[in-house]
Chain A
Amino acid sequence: MKLTGAEIIFECLIREGVDLIFGYPGGAILPTYDTMTKYPAIHHVLTRHEQGAAHMADGYARATGRVGVAMATSGPGATNLVTGIATAMMDSSPIVCITGQVATNAIGTDAFQETDVTGVTLPITKHNYLVYDVDELAYTIREAFHIARTGRPGPVLIDIPKDVQNTITEFEYPEGEIILPGYHPPQRASQSQLEAALQLIREAECPVILAGHGVVMSGATEEVVQFAEMTQTPIALTLLGKGGIPEHHPLSLGMMGMHGTGHANLAIQNADLLLAFGMRFDDRVTGNLKTYAPDARKIHIDIDASEIHKVIHADVPMVGDLKTVLRQLLPMLEPIEHKAWLGQVRDWMEDANERDILHHDAGERLFAAHVIHDMWQATNGDAVVVTDVGQHQMWEAQYYPHSRPNTLITSGGLGTMGYGLPASIGATLGLKATNVWAVVGDGGFQMTMSELATAVQERVPVNIAIINNGFLGMVRQWQEFFYEERYHATPIHSPDFVKLADAYGIPARRVQRRDDVIPAIQWAESITDGPALIDFRVETHDIVYPMVPAGADLHNMIRRPIPSRDQV
């Protein structure tokens, strides 16, 4: 069959199961856009900025587990993808980006809209390609999807010159095995590693499981819970590990780290064994490495060998797919009790409960934590929540316990403001659901709010909750604690978000009282033919507690004072 390069792109995308592309057209990708009209099986979502396209593909991927696809033209189109690609890279999100490039004979001449996109994205992609030869195109696309979704997933970019899109060639889909001599994702742990791990597990008196994004991505929920129950080991979650285990489980400690729960952090610091399941000891979860879990031995299971000993020395490293490794380990285990340890952990938990703002009288004030808590109630704890970055993100993590994997979608590693709205649009379209919530700050929302128009044009029934505190709240918090309350460049003016929504044709409400929170959330979910928006006017000078200052010891948390007990 004779096909053009552009036709080959779609023949291959369809075979990869792609039905949605998020993108933005332009000169160098026009042959491909024109050809799209011949492939009605693929729907194109026109975004308002290529960053939005990359985040949408990412949100789609994280919500569905399938590879998300973003498309852009050369030069500025491609460079606009960069933040989205870096975000996906840091959080191991499988996306494939297809960019147009100037014609092969113009490459290297500073042609109009020429950028060395494979050069620019080299350090922020799992792999990338510049396809010179149309006969390499089909195989390259297959390889790209394979690399994006296997092993430790990540973004892959394919840069395709305009003439390659136009060239006609004999097309035969490359069936069969993908031969990549330098790419062999590991699977299983060795017998000796399993036995060494077992030994440490048997000897431990105060163990803690650190459950990370790997639990979610390898689908190891059942295995982790079984492990925890059998060995009576409490589980602390990373931000991206949330959803990996049902958080209402009695062994769950909630989130660890900078804004983790007091009991999770104290358990880690006092542990004699850490079981790191698909996590990478990010500085936001360890605090000061010198004083981190000083008495704990470490068992580290990760699919990426380079994570082993990268920041924390592992006594027993196991490189492989978490689910596979735990399935190897589980039959070797016998039940263990840790009554004294769990009792200690429960005491810490009670102290945290006492400090919890949910148990404090708020008076007339509306606290973001209450909004999130009420959202959790109103959505039966079963919504898919996509956050932006800042205080609201941490409150989501603290006050919305998730019970299923892939129900919290957030930029953890890169902390990309502006991620929330576009990622929520991608997630909603991927899931074809009406219970997806974008929880965004007034600052981050304004970075990508142009995607409201995309949501309207595509009738995406996403629910948008703006946690409007009039500040770049998280930065304001740092200024309050560490910069003597010099609130410079953090008060942020916003438009009237209800009127703004109105201009887009989006139904919207403003909420200023606690009593109105749940009805507003129910109202938003009842709108299913397009987006709905709520502007929550919350406390302006609120603080995310607890907080481990950057670089401080994990147990040295700034805790929320208890009015009756602590000097305020």
Chain B
Amino acid sequence: MKQTLIALVENKPGVLNRVASLFRRRNFNIDSLTVGRTESPHISRMTIVVDADAEQVQTQLYKLVNVIQVEKVTDVPNVSRDLALIKVRVDRETRSEVMQLCEIFRAHIVDTGRESVTVEVTGDEKKISSMVEVLQPIGILEMVRTGVVTMARGEHILSPNGYQARDGSNGYQNNVL
């Protein structure tokens, strides 16, 4: 079963490599992995969707010295968002069809060419997949998805409790994952 985990990791060189290497050598099947900045310059946040035993993934991640906190959010009420850019081949007829679909999916057309439009759609994985499905017969030329980012709903907050950056640990550039 697919599991979603959130990991807070130190923003230091090589940390993404450590996580990716762990998943490969432990044979954890990654569905998607996203990394980005957080409210703290010292910490990056990963959303990991994986087809593996969540507890093993969690305890193995904790063995990495740079991993501060890992939470399984599969069963926690959460907001999950994936973003896709989809370039669709259009002619005069299908152009308006795409525009209509965009309205239904609350998607945006972010670029138009003579024979193509680029659609930006945000939502949970299901929504994007159904958008892709309806655009497929019209003709998808190119597509990119960011992978899922997830946050628990309400006051369920994931923050590195009591995290302190060490004094003078400023030898690192930011976002050098």
Chains A and B form a bound pair: yes
- Of A54-62, A174-182, A349-357, the segment with at least 4 beta carbons within 8 Å of chain B is A174-182
B168 to chain A, nearest CB (A): 7
Contacts of B68 in A (CB 8 A): 181-182
Q: A123-B21, A123-B25, A136-B171 are in contact. Are A306 and B67 (CB under 8 A)?
A: no
CA distance A182 to B65 in the complex (A): 5
Contact A306 B163 (CB under 8 A): no
Interface string of B131-162 (1 = CB under 8 A from A): 00000000000000000000000000000100
- Chain A contact residue count (CB 8 A cutoff): 24
- Of A127-135, A471-479, A485-493, the segment with at least 4 beta carbons within 8 Å of chain B is A127-135
Is the CB of A500 closer than 8 A to any CB of chain B?
Answer: no
Contacts of B66 in A (CB 8 A): 182
Contact A181 B21 (CB under 8 A): no
Is the CB of B100 closer than 8 A to any CB of chain A?
Answer: no
Q: A122-B18, A305-B59, A309-B56 are in contact. Are A182 and B171 (CB under 8 A)?
A: no
Contact of A304 among B63, B65, B163 (CB under 8 A): B63
- Of B9-17, B29-37, B104-112, the segment with at least 4 beta carbons within 8 Å of chain A is B9-17
Is the CB of B64 closer than 8 A to any CB of chain A?
Answer: yes
Is the CB of A112 closer than 8 A to any CB of chain B?
Answer: no
Contacts of A306 in B (CB 8 A): 56, 59-60, 62-63
CB contact list, B14-72 vs A, under 8 A? 14, 17-18, 21-22, 25, 53, 55-56, 59-60, 62-69
Contact of B14 among A118, A135, A183 (CB under 8 A): A118
Contacts of A132 in B (CB 8 A): 171
Is the CB of A359 closer than 8 A to any CB of chain B?
Answer: no
Interface residue range, chain B: 20 to 34
CA distance A517 to B53 in the complex (A): 54
Contact B168 A135 (CB under 8 A): yes
Nearest residue (CB) in B for A119 is B17
Contacts of B9 in A (CB 8 A): 182
CA distance A310 to B166 in the complex (A): 34
B6 to chain A, nearest CB (A): 14
Nearest residue (CB) in A for B25 is A123
Nearest residue (CB) in A for B160 is A181
Nearest residue (CB) in A for B55 is A309
Q: A118-B14, A119-B17, A308-B59 are in contact. Are A133 and B67 (CB under 8 A)?
A: no
Contact of B65 among A118, A127, A309 (CB under 8 A): A127
CA distance A359 to B11 in the complex (A): 64
Known pairs A119-B17, A147-B65; list 14 more (Cβ under 8 Å). Answer: A135-B168, A139-B168, A180-B65, A181-B160, A181-B164, A182-B64, A182-B67, A182-B68, A182-B69, A304-B59, A305-B59, A305-B62, A309-B55, A310-B56
**Those 3 A-B pairs whose CB atoms lie nearest each other, nearest first:** A306-B59, A133-B171, A305-B59
Sample of 18 A–B contacts (CB below 8 Å): A118-B14, A119-B17, A122-B14, A123-B25, A132-B171, A139-B166, A139-B168, A179-B166, A181-B10, A181-B163, A182-B67, A182-B69, A304-B59, A304-B63, A305-B59, A305-B62, A306-B62, A308-B59
